[in-house]
Amino acid sequence: MTTGKITLLSAGPGDLDLLTIKAAKALALADIVLLDDLANPGIVSLAPRARVIRVGKRGGCKSTPQAFIERLMQRYALKGLHVVRVKGGEALLFGRAGEELAALRRAGIPVDIVNGISSGFAAAASLGVSLTHREHCQGVTFITAHKQDHGEPDWSALAATGTTLVIYMGMTRIERLCTSLMSALPACTPAAVVQWAGTQAERRWLGTLDRLAIDATDAGLGSPAVILIGPAIGEAMQWVAQPAPIHQINQEPFDAQRAA
């Protein structure tokens, strides 16, 4: 029996032009595409040979169970097929790539990983700022507000690093998150929210930490969005009033409400 292979493919933030060339090549050769709901479904146009299976949340339904997704990948790979598992953003940042990789390794199935653009970087491009402007910081922390045990991240430890904070999955708990950060950072710390970063439906808010929870919510911003906090983000304030010549989107519209 010939064993196929699995490509864990990062679909980026939504704009299909932000896929890598390597991703496009893998899709062109795919027999099976397992499509995460956080990826732009238009991506299937790049996989003309493939049978497409949608996994992940649809509407109000529950997620496809992780174990089922893992079994599905293995079943097709063991038939000798090239399975492309499409994950929104960068596969190695959040999502459950770690668990999927471990399961596939245990099953002895070769896995190729194709990197991509995470929505935090697309958000920075939209704001026109470096995440690590060296006059302001010397690094950046990507963090999810959603802990596996439903606890809170240690916001004061994160603030103490002086790095720019890029928070994923934080909009549903933005008030608590801001209260915690306000006890560790100045109220005037620059903050931004970019919703649907890197898609045609992109929206953003820019202000300061003390206004973040109220104003971003009042502006109608919600999930999926990234929250960016730190002095480096403040650089955007110098040109955000001008028509911002930033981050062109050259793609067909898609259901951006589902793009991370």
Identity of the amino acid at 5: K
79 is catalytic: no
Which strand (E) or helix (H) includes residue 204?
Answer: strand 203-208
Smallest separation, CB 114 to its own copies (Å): 8
Report how far residue 185's alpha carbon sits from residue 234's, in angstroms, rounded to the nearest whole number. Answer: 14
24 binds its own copies (CB under 8 A): yes
Smallest separation, CB 220 to its own copies (Å): 25
How do strand 51-55 and strand 32-36 relate by DSSP bridges?
parallel
Return the residue of 56, 153, 170, 190 that touches its own copies, per CB under 8 A.
153
Total number of residues that touch its own copies (CB under 8 A): 73
212 within 8 A of 218, measured Cβ to Cβ: no
Return the residue of 14, 15, 37, 224 that touches its own copies, per CB under 8 A.
15
The site map against its own copies for 56-95 (x = CB under 8 A) is ----------------------------------xxxxxx
57 is catalytic: yes
- Marked catalytic residue, from 25, 57, 147, 154: 57
- Marked catalytic residue, from 5, 22, 79, 169: 169
How buried is 123 (Cβ within 10 angstroms: 0-12 exposed, 13-18 middle, 19+ buried)?
buried
Smallest separation, CB 246 to its own copies (Å): 6
Q: 128 or 222, CB closer to its own copies? A: 128
Report how far residue 18's alpha carbon sits from residue 13's, in angstroms, rounded to the nearest whole number. Answer: 7
Report how far residue 9's alpha carbon sits from residue 25's, in angstroms, rounded to the nearest whole number. Answer: 11
Smallest separation, CB 78 to its own copies (Å): 15
Smallest separation, CB 214 to its own copies (Å): 25
169 is catalytic: yes
Return the residue of 11, 16, 84, 212 that touches its own copies, per CB under 8 A.
16
| Residue 213 backbone dihedrals phi, psi, to 5 degrees | -65, -45
Report how far residue 201's alpha carbon sits from residue 192's, in angstroms, rounded to the nearest whole number. Answer: 17
How long, in residues, is the chain?
260
Interaction residues for its own copies, span 213-232 (CB under 8 A): 232
Residue range at the interface with its own copies (CB under 8 A); choices 32-40, 100-108, 173-181, 252-260: 100-108
Return the residue of 53, 72, 78, 130 that touches its own copies, per CB under 8 A.
130
For CA atoms 145, 95, 140, 200, the dihedral sign is negative
**Nearest Cα to Cα of residue 219 among 231, 207, 229:** 207
Q: 14 or 207, CB closer to its own copies? A: 14
Interaction residues for its own copies, span 175-204 (CB under 8 A): 198
Q: How far apart are the first and last CA of the chain?
A: 38
Active site residues: 36, 57, 169
